[in-house]
Amino acid sequence: MIDLEFIKQAPKIELHAHLNGCVRKETLQQFALEKNLQLDFSCFDRKDNDGQFHVFGIISQTIKTLPDFRRITREMLEDFKHQNVIYLEIRTTPKECENGCFTMEEYVNTILEVIKDHNQQKDQTMQVRLLLSIDRGRSQEHAQKVMNLILKMHKEQPYIVGLDLSGNPEKNSFQDFIKYFQQCKSLNIKTTLHAAVIDGQKVIDETLEMIEFQPDRVGHFNFFNKQLHDRIIEKKIPIELCPTSNFFTKGLKDMSEHHFKDFFYQGHLVSLSTDDTGVFDTDSTQEHQKIIRAFNLNKEQFKQLLINSSKMVFDAQLKEYLQQNINQYFETQQGQPN
């Protein structure tokens, strides 16, 4: 079994992390105190779907201002760097203040300022990029605003690398938003879709449409039949797996049931991510450790998993840099005990 410290020190890649979901519990408690909010934080101790639902409620009530978003972005970067993540893609749905105190563009620029300051630090080992998300639970008007923003910013802001479809999978459909992703594809803007998150025939049908669209990546891919499994492999669409999040969503009894096994051993590109570190009380090291232990991966398989993740990043210019770091780490650790 690979040692926990070996996993922590390994150069890791995070491709599926939502900004708001990665906030620290302590920060939320401080925000609640500053805003005079009487909130029950016991939901953080409940390791079930209902508890997680209440955590998201606390997040939405406490994080309101641009300084709030600036702080949680900075802390998110600190937390992932502490886990020796060398490439991080943050995703967030652009927000605007209800009373007009800030616009979507000001929100995105606030996040970008923190990313720029981080990336431009001397001898910076972790590079950070940003994905904008369309929330499928919101209106077409909101989606169009997000699209207008990415069209305006992606050329002048090199740290914006793609468009994501996220939100409540029971709301609306992929077809309601496909035009935005088709437009991104025509402009060589990368795309990723939350796919097959929940169960049901409607989801199966929608996921097939997503695969036929052929995004650059999909997230989760929890529920699939043989047709979807074979088709996504045939189309060679990489999958962002989030072990702890998937564990709760699928109601697994043991991590060895995770669908990692249905793709990794076939050579299909998958990465391991956290989804929401604050909500699921996890980090990049834990996510990798859970899969390594569940499937008894050796160091060569662990290395291959990280190399596969590097092939999935949306900033293609960094692939060689990432792979050099991964190869160097495992070469220097050869002969060391697990």
pLDDT over 70 percentage in the chain: 97
Confidence of residue 154 (pLDDT cuts 50, 70, 90): confident
Spatial CA neighbour of 277 closest among 4, 69, 22: 22
Q: Mean pLDDT for the chain? A: 94
For residue 337, being part of any structural domain is answered with no
As a dihedral over the C-alpha atoms of residue 183, residue 187, residue 191, residue 196, rounded to 10 degrees, the angle is: 30
What does the pLDDT read at residue 333? 82
Same structural domain, 57 and 149: no
DSSP 2: -
Whether the pLDDT of residue 338 is over 60: the answer is no
The domain boundary, picked from 46, 62, 78, lies at 62
Please list, in sequence order, all residues whose beta carbon lies within 8 angstroms of the beta carbon of residue 172, skipping any fewer than 6 positions away.
Answer: 136, 137
The CATH number for 146's domain is: 3.20.20.140
Whether the pLDDT of residue 51 is over 80: the answer is no
Confidence of residue 48 (pLDDT cuts 50, 70, 90): low
List the single range of 48-62, 148-162, 175-189 with lowest mean pLDDT.
48-62
- What would the mean pLDDT of 165-173 be, rounded to a whole number? 95
What does the pLDDT read at residue 1? 78
For residue 96, being part of any structural domain is answered with yes
Could you read off the pLDDT of 277-320 as tens digits, one per residue?
A: 999 999 999 999 999 999 999 999 999 999 999 999 999 999 99
pLDDT over 90 percentage in the chain: 86
Same structural domain, 42 and 127: no
For residue 185, being part of any structural domain is answered with yes
Same structural domain, 277 and 293: yes
Beta pairing partners, 193: 165, 218
pTM assigned to the model:
0.95
Spatial CA neighbour of 87 closest among 245, 282, 277, 284: 284
For residue 338, being part of any structural domain is answered with no
Same structural domain, 144 and 36: no
What does the pLDDT read at residue 97? 86
- What would the mean pLDDT of 163-187 be, rounded to a whole number? 96
Confidence of residue 240 (pLDDT cuts 50, 70, 90): very high
- What would the mean pLDDT of 131-140 be, rounded to a whole number? 96
For residue 157, being part of any structural domain is answered with yes
Q: How far apart are CA 260 and CA 64, in angstroms?
A: 36
SS3 category, 128? strand
Same structural domain, 143 and 259: yes
Spatial CA neighbour of 308 closest among 255, 251, 269: 269
Which domain, by its residues, includes 133? Answer: 4-23+66-332
Same structural domain, 175 and 36: no
What does the pLDDT read at residue 36? 92
- What would the mean pLDDT of 64-86 be, rounded to a whole number? 97
Confidence of residue 52 (pLDDT cuts 50, 70, 90): confident
Q: How far apart are CA 214 and CA 208, in angstroms?
A: 10
Same structural domain, 80 and 94: yes
List the single range of 32-41, 80-89, 109-118, 245-254 with lowest mean pLDDT.
32-41
Same structural domain, 104 and 78: yes
Q: Pick the residue with more confidence: 42 or 26?
A: 26
What does the pLDDT read at residue 47? 66
Judge contact between 168 and 321, C-beta under 8 A: no
Spatial CA neighbour of 133 closest among 172, 99, 177: 177
Per the listing, tokens 């090199």 go with: 158
For residue 55, being part of any structural domain is answered with yes
DSSP 262: G
For residue 47, being part of any structural domain is answered with yes
Same structural domain, 43 and 149: no
Judge contact between 139 and 177, C-beta under 8 A: no
What does the pLDDT read at residue 8? 97
- What would the mean pLDDT of 87-102 be, rounded to a whole number? 92
What does the pLDDT read at residue 32? 92
For residue 323, being part of any structural domain is answered with yes
Same structural domain, 287 and 224: yes
Q: How far apart are CA 68 and CA 315, in angstroms?
A: 27
Same structural domain, 171 and 56: no
Same structural domain, 57 and 135: no
Tally of structural domains, the chain? 2
